[in-house]
Structures are given as structure tokens and as C-alpha cells.
Chains A and B, each alone.
Chain A
Amino acid sequence: MKKIHIIAMVLIILSVGVLFMASNDIATYSTFSEAHASGKKVKVAGQLMKEKDMFYDPVKDPNYFSFHLKDVEGTETKVVLLGAKPQDFELSEQVVLTGKMTDEEFLATEMLVKCPSKYKNEEEYLKLEQG
């Protein structure tokens, strides 16, 4: 057997091992109740509840933005994002959060909002409908 084949095999075995390790990092979406139970940092996806209050007053705290989200199980929770309110947040629907649950609220450090450009078109169409 050639050295190169041995090395290639070692690399293949290694990559299987590393991939196995790496797969531990792959997350699954949690719900608010699971986040509550585990107390760990998790990802939660949900719908923005537009009818509920959103609060961002930079004069009080530029790193505190709160809103309400409904997860896949239908649990509504107040979310606090430790950061500024993103531009056009009101237009978004689906929100993916990374963070952890505290007693009453979900403390988020990262947030991914579905690109609002998709909804921009719909808005324009609505305007056209009226016009």
C-alpha cells in the first residue's frame, strides 16, 4: 500500500470523525417552552405579532428592543433583543432568534429577519389595487 493511500485513508477516517463532531453543533429549532426547560442558548423561529407592542426608546437604552413573537407551538413570548431595532422591522413576518430564556422573557443576542424586499412588492401591489 502506498503512503499516499494510507494518508488519504487517515484523512477520510479523520473527516468522518470530525464531521461527526461537527454534527453536534448542528442545532434544531427550539420552542419557547423547550428554551425555558433547558435554560441554554437556543434558536427559536416564530411569527412576529404585529398587533402587540414594540418598544424601542434609545434615550432610555439603545440596546433594548422588545416585541412579541409566537413560536411554532403558538406560545407567545415577549422577546428582548439586546441591540437596536432594525430598520423596517415592522414589515417582517418570520423571525429567527438566537438567545436564551429568562424568567419572563426571551433574551436574544442575534436575530435574522426574513428579507422585507419580498413584502415590498406586495405593498406596491396593494397600492396599485387601490390606484
Chain B
Amino acid sequence: MNEIQYTGEHLIFGQIGHFFIILSFVASIFGAIAYFNAVQKRNQAISSSWIKFGRLGFWIHGFSVFAIIGIIFYIMANKYYEYSYVFEHVSEDLPYKYILSAFWEGQEGSFLLWMFWHVVLGAILLFKAGKWEAPVLFCFLFVEIFIGTMILGLHFGEIKIGSNPMVLFRDTAALPLFAKEDYVLQLAQFADGLNPLLQNYWMTIHPPTLFLGFASTLVPFAYAIGGLWTKDHKEWLSPALKWGLFSGGILGTGILMGSAWAYEALTFGGYWAWDPVENTSLVPWLVMLAGIHTNLIAKSTGYSIKSTYLFYLLSFLLIVYSTTLTRSGVLGDTSVHAFTEMGLENQLLIFIFSIVLLCAYHMIKGFPSVAKHEKEEAFFSKEFWMFIGSLILIFSSVLITFTSSIPVYNKVAGLFNYDLGLTSPIEPVEHYNKYQLWIAIFIGLFSAFAQYLRYKASNWDNRKSKVLKHVGVCLLLAGLVSYLTTLWIEVNAWQYIMMMFFAYFTIFANLDVLLTFTKYNKTKLASFTAHAGFGIMLIGILASGLNKKHISTNAFAQRGLLPDDMLGKNVLLLKDSPMHINGYKVTYTGDSIVDNTRYFKVNYQRIDKNGNTYEEFNLAPNALYDSKFTKIAAYNPSTKRYLTKDIFSHIAGLPPGESDIEEAKAREDSLNWRTFETLIGEDLVFSDTVKINGDSLYIKKFKAQITGINKSPEHPEYEQEAGDIALGIKMNVQFLEKEQVHEIEPVIVVRSSLLYNYPAQINDIALKIKLNENTLSETYLLEDQLSYQDFNFNQGQSINFNGKKITFAGFEQKPIHPDYIAEEGDIAVAATLQIESDNQVRTASPVFLIRGNRPFNLKAEVEELGLHFRFTKIDPNSGKIYISIAAQESPGKLPFEIATNSFRSDYIVLEAIEFPGINLFWLGTIMMMLGLFFGMFMKFSQKELA
């Protein structure tokens, strides 16, 4: 068989790219081995040579990773669709600003993003880590080896290792298209592009932040391995703490961004859903926090060193676990945002077990040499309470992981051919909340009380009474403010009241410790910000979570009939008909289109008891159509923000004809059109028979009347262009059981010999009326069907035509005529003619034009009288003008088509939710992150031993 010689491919990029993939992989192995030897022989002279080799390996690896990313970015930006990754993530219409998002939309791209951050952090550490360079960089390169295998794309017989992002599309599927040598040219039209749901700025900022967070957990991990490996259990604590704080801050920010994205841009209706994917990124963060706290203890007292090791190692291990869960397809049934399977399961398992082995080995080897303490921690020491707080965080992590791992139990049982068939709890949110609220209570208590204590309980006996007094005051304050809060939000269960109480307790205690308990000192600022933030976050969760309220529910109609969780969450809003729900008057007032987005304007008015509006605002939730405008790709919410609450709304549904062009066509085809004809001004009565319950019939009667013809008609969907022949028929239509008369105007247009129909839909009576060609030919006569008579007269003179008096009133030197566009050198003049008939005077202004020495004339028409005027000649000497006039017989019966039972197209299905106190949640969480970053900056600015 002959090989096909393809044209238009850019194979060189794939070749160079794959070369760098292999090079980066080999370099990471080489560098890891070198650094490994550097650590092993750390007390020998040869160590520095190994370090040099290690650095060489790292730099080659780092450069290769950058090169791979650069090449992928280049082929994506240039849209070389012959590459599978480009074909799947880029499309012709994808804006340039989303190329980055498209890059990390896929698994390969996100692995590369992760590697990128490892390289960046590794490079910083290579310069800054000093004596820790070798063990730390070893860990980085060791991890890079495993991530590198995910994009390796090598085949050994049946075994495939990794998925190469540079693979050619034609190598992934056998399609008939690939028989054509110029197939590349045809790919553009099929390219998928970035999922429209992901086309927003969150997709640009969330993944890089989250992956930096993932990558950052490796730093304390690497220091921990370094400490265990070199059996230097003290010195690693300082740099590990700084990086632990960095990691806590950045990973937390990444998670928070995901939460903000879910809340703000997606239609999940909340910021946290305890989804397994969310949980498995939260857990490493909680463990990191536990590590930071034991690290603080270890630095100040020498206690808790083993725990610090354990928690830092665990944190990164859990990141790998999280990666395995989300990328292996295991979570497919239980999570809304897991990746689909890619055949990387075995590699991910090898990755995770290798990390476990690495940790276990070093813990077994290193732990015995950690100094033991004869004396135990004092009960009233800071370290004691901080340690228990850390254990509580671990406890929380265990619980969350236990439930999030349900799919793993199935998978493991499946390996032994046993089908467990387990699935996540039926009420997942309640399940997690009922346990985690206790965690919140204890963390609230400890993070408040521990602030008053000192390490090693120094001078406790003298401080005791003062501490108790301050704690007492804070408890009282917490109780008081908790009571006040219940006036604002409903907190029914006693567990939640306790949670609120301890949340306030930690806010007040931390404030007290910062300002009044001892003198203000800026080193306390970080701890204050983080812990008070935690308390504020809890209040925000209570307010927005427990008191989240659907505005868009018709509770009156449904309450009592259905259990609460089955109450409908959506309401139907007909255009311009207001709906009163839950204290609001909500009206859908109209829509507008900008690019591919259709905005639906919804007016909200808050109504008091007397029916007066005391507050009003508009929201515009939107629907994003795909590039070809054939279908809705995504709905985006719109939120009104107040200081104390948010009102969130999104479109839950549109009329089927509005959301999908195929559906629209099917519906249009299903209509039963009937043709009628009538004279202008004459009533037409028609009826429609509707079957009710099988046999009984119901006859609906309608009346229609044509009131006029309009040759420059308007219709919301019709935009006039020069050269259009347009016709609108003005009609009055009435459903005879109702009073209302609907004035409508269906339009038909001929544009460059194609016919365009703009029907009129009357939603209230489910009626649709359209015109057809016959309507057009009945009203528009061709010129040769008209017989013109010639007249000539001077200004001021009148003639008589068919009993109508026509007067030449004067010239118009700057004529305006729909078909006339002025050009340089034109000599144009219009004659103003006044036509008197039935005591009414109408005007017509035909135009005479000389362009390029040739005479033209543009006719004028008086539609009501059926008169056509042409201005054919002008006598410059006498000032006489020559006018040709033709009379058209008034049109006969005008045909039009009617469909009864047409589909409504004037509504939206809306979901609207009120979130009280949501800003407390954001404030609290942001404060927590700021606290971690403050801590980090303070530690970095301290001149400590590295």
C-alpha cells in the first residue's frame, strides 16, 4: 500500500515537541539520581560534583518543560488542527484570550501546568535552599519523573505509557477523511474548541492558582524528606514553615477561586457542594494547616516534630491521591466535574504507591533519631491546645476522605470481582455538615483559647486570673451577639447555635488578644487575621447556607402538597406579565443579543404590605449560544449584590424553539398552516377545533381584518437593506371569547431574489400568521403591468387625473428618496406634487436625475390611492415638467396563512435565590488566606537561619 503524501501538515512541531518530552523525562531521571547521590554522599567531597550534575539535570528538565509548553501554545495559537490536542481544545472562533484556558482544559495540558509550577518553585529552591538543595530538588525531580510519564506517549507493544499531547489526529482515529491528502484543510470546521461553560475569566485564573497550590505542597514535603533523610530534625523546620504558610495561602486561594466560580458563574446555586472533587482538594489543605500548627509548636518548643513530618508528607500524598481520583475516571458517577478516563490509572497508582513508599522508608529510617521529650506538654500550654486543634483538623480530613473515597471502595472490591455498588450519601450536604459542624465548634474553641496561652505554660500561675477574666468577657460577648444574630437569620438547631456561639467566641478572643489582652504587636496580626477570618466564615456559612431562600418558588400553590425539598425551584415568567413571589414582583421585560450572548432582562421590585414598591433593580441572566447560533451552549447567572445579601438568578429553561434551531424547525414544521384571503377592511371569521379528552370537541373562533398595506414595514427581526422589496400587512386579530384585539403586522421580504418570511406570533391566543408570495404579487405590480399617462405642467398648475386634483407645488433641490443615494456630479431634483382626493391632500415627490450625462427617474407612489408617479423630463426654457402617472387598481383579496395552536415563544424559566450574609463568607475566607500570607511574609522577612 502506498503511503499517502499529506499536504498542509506542520509535522516539525510534533517531532521537536516529542523530543523535548523524552528529554525532560530523561533529564528528570538523571537529575534525581544525581541529587540522590549528592544526599547519600553528603559528607564527602564528591557531593558537590553530584550537585552539579543534579543542577544540570534540573535545568535541562526545566528548559524542556518550558519548550513543550511553548510549542503546544504555538500550535494552538496557530490552529494546527492536525494535532489532536489542538483539534479537541481550539476552534476557529475561539478568542485569543482563551488559548491559555484551552491549553489547560485537557489532562495533558493540566499535567504540564503542574510540572511548570514544579519547575518554577524548584528553580527558586535551587538558589535559596542552601544545604537543603540536594534532598529538596531530589524530591522535585522524583515527582517530575512520574508526572512526566503521564505525557510520555510511548508504546511498548500493547502497553501505552502516557498520552502525548503532540499526537497527530490522524494517528488517533481511522477516519475516511484521512484518505484525502489535504484533509487538514477540512478539520477547522469540525474542531470542538473550548467548552463554552469554561469560556470565562475564572478558567483563566483558577487552574493556574490551584496548580500552584498543588505544586507548593511539594515544598514542605521535600523539606520533610530532607529532614528525615539527613536526620537533621531541627533546621528544616524554619524553611518548611515559610513554605507551608505559602502553600496554605495559595492552595486555599485556589480552592476558594473554584468556590467563587461555582457560585458566581456556574449555575450550581451555591459555593460548596461537598462534591468529591472539591473535597479531595480541601483535605490536603486542612492537613497542611495541621502541619503549619505543629511546625509552629516544633519550632518554639521542640515538641510535635514527628507530627509535623507526618502532616507535611501526608499533605502532598493527598494531593497525589486527589489527582488520582479526579483523573482516573473513578469519580465519574459521583462528581459533576471529574475528568473522563484516559487509561492513566495504572500510572497514577504507581505514582501514589511510590510516594507512599518514599515516605514510609524515610519515616522508618528517620523517626528513631527524633529527640524524645521526657516531660509532657503542660495542660495550660499553647502547644497542647494547638496540637489538639491540629488533631481535630486531621480528624476532619479523615471523615471527609472516608466519604469521598466511596468510589474507591467499589473499585478495590471490583478488583476482587466483588460488586459493592456503594454510592455517596443520598443527602450529601447534610451528611458532611452534621459531622463537620462539630469540627468547626472545636476549632472555634481552641483557636480562641490557645491565643491566651504561652508556650510551655510559662508564668501560668500569675496569668491565670487575667486569662480567665478575658475569656469570660469574650464568652459573654459571644452569647450576646449570637442572640442578636438570631434576630437577623434563623438558626434553629442547637448544634448550629453552638457553632455560631464559638464562631463569635473566636472572633472576640482573637480581637482581644490582638488589641487589649497584651500590647498590640504586629507579629500577632497574621494569627488574628486567619483565626478571626475563620470565625467570620462560619457566620457567613450559617447565614448563607441555612438561610438560603428560593425566591422563585410558588410556595402558596405547593406547600403542604409536596415535601419541602420537592418544592419547585423554578418559575415561569411570561413576557411583560409580572409575577408576585415571596415579597417580590418579578417581570421579564425583554431580551437583547450581544455577540453570541442573549441577555434576558428581569425586573425585580420589592413590595411592602401596602403594595408599594420600595426597592427596584434589574438583573440580566443570559444564555450563551454556540458559534453558529444553532443551540444554547450555557446559561450564565446574574447576581444583585447587597452588603447583607446576594440575589442570584439564572435561566433554567427557554422555549424549546429558542434554545435549539433544529427544535425550532421541527416545531415550525409541525404547525398546521391554513391559507385564507380577504379584502382590505373586510372581516374574516375562522375557527379551530380542539380535541379535549378524546371525544369532546371545543371550537375556538377568531376574527381577522386587514387594515392596511405597508411597503416600509417594521418587524423586530427584520433589518432593512437597500434594494429590499418589503411588504407588511397590518391586521387586527381577535379571539372571539376575549375582548382584546391584537394589532399585528406579518412581513415578507424579497432580497436578491430570495424570499424571507417574518411571521407574527400572538402568544396570548397561540396564533401565528404569515404572508406568502401570493400576498406579494397581489400588492406589488410589475412596471409593465402599469399603464402610464403623460402630463406636463408649470409650477402652480393643476391637472385632473381620475377625478383627483394634482398640483405641481414646486421643486425640491435636495431630494430625499428611499432608492436615491447622492453621488458626486449628480444633478437631481424632485417635483413636489400635491394630490387632493376625498378632502385629503397627500404628497408625492418623484425624482429626476442626471448622472454621467444620462437621465434617470425614480418613481414615487401613493399606496393608499394606488397612484404611481414618474418625473421623466424637464424643459429648462419653460420650466415645464413632464410627469407620467399610472393608476393601480386597488388590490383584490389578499392571501395569508394562519396556524392555530402555535407555540409560545415569549417566556423564560427562572431560578432566583437569596443568599443572606454571603459577604461574610467571602470576607472570612479571604481573611484566612491573608492571615496565611501575612505569616509567610513575616517569616520570610525575619533574618533567621534558612
Give the interface of A toward B (CB within 8 A).
2-4, 7-8, 11, 14-15, 18-19, 22-23, 25-29, 41-43, 45, 56, 58-59, 61-63, 82-85, 87, 94, 96, 98, 107, 109, 112, 114-115, 117-118, 120-121, 124-125, 127-129, 131
Contacts and interface: CB of A to CB of B under 8 A. Distances in A.
Given A3-B376, A15-B398, A62-B652, 18 more contacts: A3-B379, A3-B384, A4-B388, A25-B431, A27-B425, A43-B426, A45-B333, A56-B653, A58-B909, A59-B572, A62-B570, A84-B652, A85-B653, A87-B632, A107-B566, A109-B566, A125-B173, A131-B190
Bin chain B's interface residue count.
35 or more
Contact of A27 (B398, B422, B907): B422
B890 to A, nearest CB: 42
A62 B571 contact: yes
Contacts of A127: 190
B96 interface: no
B571 A42 contact: no
Nearest to A107: B566
Given A29-B421, A62-B570, A131-B190, A18 B435 contact: yes
Per CB-CB distance, the 4 closest pairs between chain A and chain B, nearest first, are A63-B568, A84-B652, A2-B376, A25-B425
B763 to A, nearest CB: 10
Interface stretch (B399-407, B686-694, B820-828): B399-407
A2 B333 CA distance: 45
Contact of B332 (A61, A82, A114, A117): A114
B173 A84 contact: no
A66 to B, nearest CB: 14
A59 B566 contact: no
A8 B391 contact: yes
B340 interface: yes
Given A8-B391, A25-B403, A112 B333 contact: yes
Contact of A84 (B388, B570, B634): B570
21 contacts: A4-B388, A11-B392, A22-B431, A22-B435, A25-B425, A26-B403, A28-B423, A29-B421, A59-B904, A63-B568, A84-B653, A87-B632, A87-B634, A87-B659, A94-B333, A109-B565, A115-B336, A115-B340, A120-B192, A129-B176, A131-B177
Contacts of A4: 376-377, 384, 387-388
A62 B568 CA distance: 8
B424 interface: yes
A112 B336 contact: yes
A16 B633 CA distance: 46
Contacts of A15: 395, 398-399
A43 B907 contact: no
Contacts of B377: 2-4
B843 interface: no
Nearest to A8: B391
Contacts of B904: 59
Contact of B570 (A22, A83, A121): A83
Interface string B653-667: 101000100000000
Given A3-B376, A26-B422, A62-B571, A125 B175 contact: yes
Interface in B391-448: 391-392, 395, 398-399, 402-403, 406, 420-427, 431, 435
B732 interface: no
A123 B108 CA distance: 22
Contacts of B789: none
B333 A11 contact: no
B395 A128 contact: no
B391 A7 contact: yes
Given A84-B909, A115-B340, A62 B653 contact: yes
Contacts of A19: 398-399, 402
A83 B652 contact: yes
Contacts of A25: 403, 425-427, 431
A29 B423 contact: yes
A84 B195 CA distance: 22
Contacts of B25: none
Interface in B562-599: 562, 565-572
Nearest to A23: B402
A74 to B, nearest CB: 16
Contacts of A63: 568-570
B77 to A, nearest CB: 22
Contacts of B420: 28
Given A29-B423, A83-B569, A96-B333, A7 B388 contact: yes
B422 A128 contact: no
A11 B659 contact: no
Contacts of A41: 426-427
B271 interface: no
B635 interface: yes
Interface in B370-396: 376-377, 379, 384, 387-388, 391-392, 395
A13 B290 CA distance: 20
A121 B175 CA distance: 13
B861 interface: no
A81 B570 CA distance: 12
B186 interface: yes
Contact of A87 (B333, B562, B635): B635
